[in-house]
Amino acid sequence: MKSLSRIVVLVTALVLASGALAQEGRTSASAEPQTSPRTPQAGKVYVPESGRQQAGLFAHTTYSLRSADGGKPSAVATPRPAAVPGPLATTEIAETPDSMGCLYVGSPKIVGCVPQYTGGPSAAGYGAIAIVDAFDNPNAATDLGTFDSNWGLAAPPSFTKIYANGNGSCSTPPPDAGWALEESLDIEWAHVFAPNAAIVLVEACSNSYTDLFYAEQVAFSYIATNFPTTGGQVTNSWQGGEFSGQISNDPLFADWNYIGGQGWKPAILAFASSGDGGFEGATTGYPSGNPWLISAGGTSVLRNASTLTFNKESCWGGSGGGTSTYETYATSFTGGNIGPWADFQYPINGGTFFPASRQTPDLSFNADPASGVWVYSGFNGGWFIVGGTSVSSPALASIVNRAGNRLGSVFLTPVTGGSDWFSTWENNLLYSQLAAAKAYKANFYDVKTGSNGTSAVASYDLCTGVGSPRGLLGK
């Protein structure tokens, strides 16, 4: 009896201790992240009308242009070196396919990853990358051709433009200059890191959530139907506000919603810009906060003032990040929400039993307009230096495509008798490396400086997520 009594006491002590730890975890998780002044924007930028916050259930673009005076910049005939003082006493310069390829995927090899204004990453990639945007860019195909010709990049296996008009909202989406430049940015930088992937541009009739969500279905369905053995990615460089009922739309960004009739193949993965408004606190943008996709945040690429060699990446002050109001923890499958099927952030934002809501972003890429990338837009008259997390989403989709892991939301394994196993596999992979002593440091750049309203810190933060890519392992 004495032994049994000691066992009972021991078990009781363990239960009480675990309860205390759980409560401590919940208390820690519920604390607000430490806010800090946003890193000042170096130089002046111009935000187009399409990038202004929209009222109601409408989305806006998430890019801005480097500008000499804050007004709309004039297009230039050909890309040329252009540097500005950086926010952290370093230099930022317009980035090119070769400098970004060197920095993020190691191709081409350039000392200091200094922009060379010729070439780009070597040929790689598979399947298709679909871009979902609003309105029409009449020059989309020729823009991509001009971009590739200028940088010496191979054309994609195919370029397809689709009008998402099957919902009856229009016959042909009307042209719009702001969204046209967005589309040029998206197709060009989705192509840079995965030249062997087909490019598919899906144009919604308008920037309403209704039309964009319909276009998302068109994009996923097109890849599922036309690339059934390979799959690919879908990128969304637009954002609106969160709204009650958004959970019902979450499956539109998950491949399990489309491929059940095809034996749960192929794998299709979505990306979305985290926004350009900085730290948002107890909310995120949508679809960025959808747990089925990769939320793409932004960094600044800072260079040595005299040699222009790469110095470091810092949190870009505009990088969107925050904690979702609606994507809360659920214990039974809802189609959305954070839950057992999407628990990749459990170790960093939750208590022992009850994790907090979805947080953004997940992964980052250069998005500072001061270190912006070159984009060609014929509809707008030529070349522009463009920043914003609109750059991050297609670029990260292209890098993940190049990595070739082909992860979606369904994993078939003999362990489950070949049945479907829904989970957020790409985010699972990204976040699993945070605890690794070697893999994380080798596969990601851990951004520890700068602020979007909350400071970048070691490991995960609400400005750059896990960090930015280095190489192809673990992506």
Alpha-carbon distances, residue 453 vs 82, 345, 462 (angstroms): 28, 21, 9
Res 209 pLDDT > 90: yes
* 8 A C-beta contact, residue 193 and residue 103: no
Tokens representing residue 51 in the block:
């990038």
Reported confidence tier of residue 9, pLDDT bands at 50, 70, 90: very low
Rg of the chain's alpha carbons, rounded to an integer?
Answer: 22
Q: What is the pLDDT of residues 63-118, one digit of tens each?
A: 999 999 999 999 999 999 988 876 666 899 999 999 999 999 999 999 999 999 98
pLDDT given at position 225 = 98
Positive or negative torsion for Cα 424, 343, 433, 451: positive
pLDDT tens digits, 345-367:
987 766 555 567 999 999 999 99
Residue pair 33/454 in contact (Cβ under 8 Å)? The answer is yes
Output 208 or 412, whichever has higher pLDDT. Answer: 208
- CA nearest neighbour of 200 among 149, 258, 237, 158: 158
For residues 93 and 70, what is the distance between their CA atoms, to the nearest angstrom?
18
Q: What is the pLDDT of residue 166?
A: 98
Per-residue model confidence as pLDDT tens digits over 120-145: 999 999 999 999 999 999 999 999 99
What is the reported pLDDT for 26?
A: 31
pLDDT tens digits for range 229-268: 999 999 999 999 999 999 999 999 999 999 999 999 999 9
May I ask the CATH architecture of the domain 59-469?
A: 3-Layer(aba) Sandwich (3.40)
The mean predicted confidence, pLDDT, of the chain is 91
pLDDT of residue 12: 26
The predicted-structure confidence for 374-393, as pLDDT tens digits, reads as follows 999 999 999 999 999 999 99
Residue 437 neighbours by CB distance under 10 Å? 6
Tokens 């040595």 map to which residue?
Answer: 304
How confident is residue 2, by pLDDT bands cut at 50, 70 and 90?
A: very low
Q: Please list the helix, strand and coil fractions of the chain in percent, rounded to the nearest 5, in that order.
A: 30, 25, 45
Burial 23-56 (b: 16+ CB within 10 A, else e): eebbeebeeebeeeebbebbbbbbbbebbeebee
In the chain, where are the structural domains located? 59-469
Strand partners, 19: none
Residue 324 CB partners (closer than 8 Å, separation 6+): 242, 283, 284, 289, 357, 358, 359, 360
CA-to-CA separations, 86 to 18, 27, 300, 455, in angstroms, rounded:
48, 38, 9, 18
User: What is the predicted pLDDT for the residue at 467?
Assistant: 98
Confidence of residue 413 (pLDDT cuts 50, 70, 90): confident
Strands 232-236 and 128-134, by their bridges, are parallel
Position 32 confidence tier, pLDDT thresholds 50, 70, 90: low
